[in-house]
Structure 1
Amino acid sequence: MNWGYISAFWTTVVMNCVQPVNWQACLPVQDWLFPAIGDYIRFKTEEPYASEKRSLEQFRLDGG
């Protein structure tokens, strides 16, 4: 993992969630952290525009 990602996560998420005014938005971790982890894994494992390519292939198979 790149240190830039860790640094960006620390400065944007951790430092903002430490402030009491943001606790209401940060507390439901399952609403934002788990989807973000899934997005990151998909980003690192798939080639660029993979979902778009799948959509186009499906469109072609449908006779379009």
Structure 2
Amino acid sequence: MMTKKSKIPGILTWLVLLFFYLPILLLVINSFNDSRTGVTWGGFTLKWYSQLFAAREIW
């Protein structure tokens, strides 16, 4: 007789993965935001990355 597999472990696994990876995805998306505060979307920019690579203190 075949046993029916529960869907709970699969759902729980996806929820844990979402819990871990969603903040990382939001940080990556927000890193291209032109707004200084990050609360509102100010447009797409690479300004923050250019400032990062231009900073002598980091390199």
Say which structure is richer in helix. 1
Q: Which has the higher contact order (CA 8 A, sep 6+)?
A: 2
Give the structure with higher Rg (CA): 2
TM-score > 0.5, shorter chain as reference: no
Query: Could you tell me the TM-score, scaled by structure 1's length?
Result: 0.30
Query: Could you tell me the TM-score, scaled by structure 2's length?
Result: 0.31
